[in-house]
């Protein structure tokens, strides 16, 4: 993966997730951060920090991004979510507009 096509999502604990830009753009919030004019640090460095989202949840969210891309390309599978993650995942998804 080339550097220009990726973004880095950083969780609350500091764990970093490097994913494709296209996948990250599934989230409206991230899309706005990366594409809005104004020279924001996120857009320049390609890094977004989420101090309220834990690593487990962020990992699941990244998995969701890729699943969503797959789904819209035609491969419609089921996205499994462990029930114990659901509440936090819901709140993170709400924040990320995804």
Partner 1 sequence: MPVLRSREIPPVPPKPPKARSKVDPPATPTQGREQPATRLSSPHSLTPSPKTAGSVSGSAPSSLRRSLRLSSKGSSNVGDQVGLPEVERCIESSNGDVSKKRKLSVDVDGGFESGGSRVLSLRSGGKVTKRSPLGDGDVNGGGGGDEVVESNTKGKSIAETEYIEKSERDNEKENVNRKRRFSSEEKGKGKLVVETDLESKDETLVNGSVPDVEVPAEEVKSPDEKPSKRSNRGTNGGRMERFRDTARRNASRFAYFNTQEEEEKEEEDNNNLSMEAEREIPSVEEQIEENVAEDWPGPFSTAMKIIRDRAANLNVRQGSSSSGQVPSVKINWVPQKGKGKEGSKRLAPSLLDLSLRILVDNADAIASLDHVPDALRHKLCQMLCDSRRMNSNLLDLLLSGSPTEIRLKECSWLTEDQFTECFEKCDTSNLTVLQLDYCGQSLADYNVPSTLARSPISLPALTTLSLTGAYRLSDAGLSVLVSSAPALRSVNLSQCSFLTHGAIEILASSLASVLLELFVDDCQSIDAMLMLPSLKKLEHLEVLSVAGLESVTDKFIKEFISARGDGLKELNLSGCGKLTDSSLKIIAETCSILRALDIGNVPKLTDNSFGHLASGCRSLESLKLCRNAFSDDAIAAFLEMSGEILKELALNNVGKVGHNTALSLARRSRNLVSLDLSWCRNLTDEAMGLIVDSCLALRVLKLFGCTQITDVFLCGHSNADVEIIGLKLSPLLEHLKAAVESPLQYSSVSSLI
Residues that bind partner 1 (CB under 8 A): 61, 64, 67-68, 71-74, 76, 79, 81, 83, 86-87, 89-91, 93-94, 96, 98
Find all residues with CB under 8 Å of 85, minimum gap 6, and list them.
56, 57, 60
For residue 48, list its beta bridge partners. Answer: 9
Q: Which is nearer to partner 1, 44 or 76 (CB)?
A: 76
Q: Which is nearer to partner 1, 34 or 92 (CB)?
A: 92
Shortest Å distance, C-beta 2 to partner 1: 25
Shortest Å distance, C-beta 87 to partner 1: 7
The tokens describing 92, both together, are: 């993170």
For residue 17, list its beta bridge partners. Answer: 9
For 26, other C-beta atoms within 10 Å of its C-beta total 21
């Amino acid at each position: 993966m080339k550097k220009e096509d990726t973004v880095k999502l950083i969780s609350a604990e500091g764990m970093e997730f490097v994913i494709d830009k296209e996948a990250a753009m599934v989230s409206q919030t991230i899309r706005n951060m990366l594409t809005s004019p104004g020279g924001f640090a996120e857009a320049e460095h390609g890094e977004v920090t989420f101090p309220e989202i834990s690593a487990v949840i962020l990992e699941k969210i990244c998995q969701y991004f890729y699943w969503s891309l797959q789904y819209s390309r035609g491969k419609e599978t089921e996205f499994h979510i462990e029930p114990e993650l659901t509440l936090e995942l819901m709140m993170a998804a709400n924040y990320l507009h995804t």
